[in-house]
Amino acid sequence: MKIPYFEVAAFASRPFAGNPAGVCLLDRWLPDALLQSIATENNLAETAFLVARDGLHELRWFTPTNEIDLCGHATLASAHVLFRHRGAKGAALLFHSPRAGELGVVPEGDRLVLDFPARETEPCEVTSQLSAALGAEPLELHEARGYLAIFRSPAEIRALKPDITKLKALPTEGVIVSAPGDDCDFVSRFFVPKHGIDEDSVTGSTHCYLIPFWAERLGKQTLFARQLSRRGGELFCENGKERVRIGGYAVTYLTGEI
């Protein structure tokens, strides 16, 4: 069999920026071990697998090491493929994930906007183990998708050089670091070595926590965010009561087949 395959830079308006995602279009679900092998071979932060069924697309995401519960940039990339390369029509696309439920994507001009669940954070104590792993002590620590560590400025976020071995030893999935922005509302980075990704380039799902957090702190519901990874990314955000909207651009890097 042959699988149509695409690589898309998500949350970027040009190639070689944002977060690259693989997108595989399937006629039916293949064995999980094969899906994992494809994602491992692709060696991207996430590979998305889609099956069209009953007016929507079933969607799953795999890192190089395992399947995950929610992924923003690979969902954005999937919508880009369907609109740009498969002639999808209409005002919105609907995806269903067995782990995350229904997720919508709406085109707004050249941008695509994710409709994702809002998620809460809870304050907790800063630990010496975390500070040692990050190489710096945050102002605050919150429980989110793993930990959310708050710093004073983008300069501190950029300067972080975490110890990946120590990060893996933390009793958490990963660590989001964030601060108020200079030329945007807030900035972030995301380290998740337990999923085979030392640092994710641009992470839509962490903004399910970051958008409500900074909306409350800054007293505004519409925000512009940057992720300060080496590739960098831009996210256009809107806070809602139970949902968040995460907008971004996407660019096709390659098309082919497996």
DSSP string, 162-231: --HHHHHHSSSS-EEEEEE-SSSSEEEEEEEGGGTEEEES--TTTHHHHHHHHHHHHT-SEEEEEE-SSS
**179 and 200 co-located in one domain:** yes
Q: What global pTM score does this model have?
A: 0.94
Could you tell me if 144 and 165 lie in one domain?
Answer: yes
Exposure of 42 in the CB half-sphere (CA atoms within 13 A): 31
**CA-to-CA distance for 176 and 81, rounded, in angstroms?**
28
Q: What is the model's pLDDT at position 241?
A: 84
Residues 112 and 131 in one domain: no
Residue range(s) defining the domain that contains residue 110: 4-116+246-257
Q: Are residues 73 and 159 in the same domain?
A: no
46 is catalytic: yes
Residue of 7, 41, 46, 173 marked active site: 46
Q: CA-to-CA distance for 47 and 116, rounded, in angstroms?
A: 19
Q: Tokens 């069999």 identify what position?
A: 1
Tell whether 106 and 197 lie within a shared domain: no
State how many domains the chain has: 2
Residue with tokens 């929507």: 56
Give yes or no: residues 62 and 141 share one domain. no
Q: What is the CATH number of the domain that holds 46?
A: 3.10.310.10
Quick one: 94 and 42 in the same domain? yes
Same domain (yes/no): 93, 180: no
Residue-wise pLDDT tens for the chain (258 aa)? 999 999 999 999 999 999 999 999 999 999 999 999 999 999 999 999 999 998 899 999 999 999 999 999 999 999 999 999 999 988 899 999 998 999 999 999 999 999 999 999 999 999 999 999 999 999 999 998 799 999 999 999 999 999 999 999 999 999 999 999 999 999 999 999 998 899 999 999 999 999 999 999 999 999 999 999 999 999 999 999 899 999 999 999 999 999
Secondary structure of residue 210 in the 3-state scheme: helix
* 141 and 86 in a common domain: no
- Unique residue bearing structure tokens 């390369």: 85
Indicate the SS3 state at residue 62.
strand
- For residues 209 and 145, membership in a common domain is answered with yes
For β-strands 197-200 and 19-26, DSSP reports them as unpaired
- Which H or E run contains 137? none
Are 108 and 186 in a shared domain?
no
Same domain for 17 and 74: yes
Dihedral sign, Cα of residue 156, residue 182, residue 198, residue 60: positive
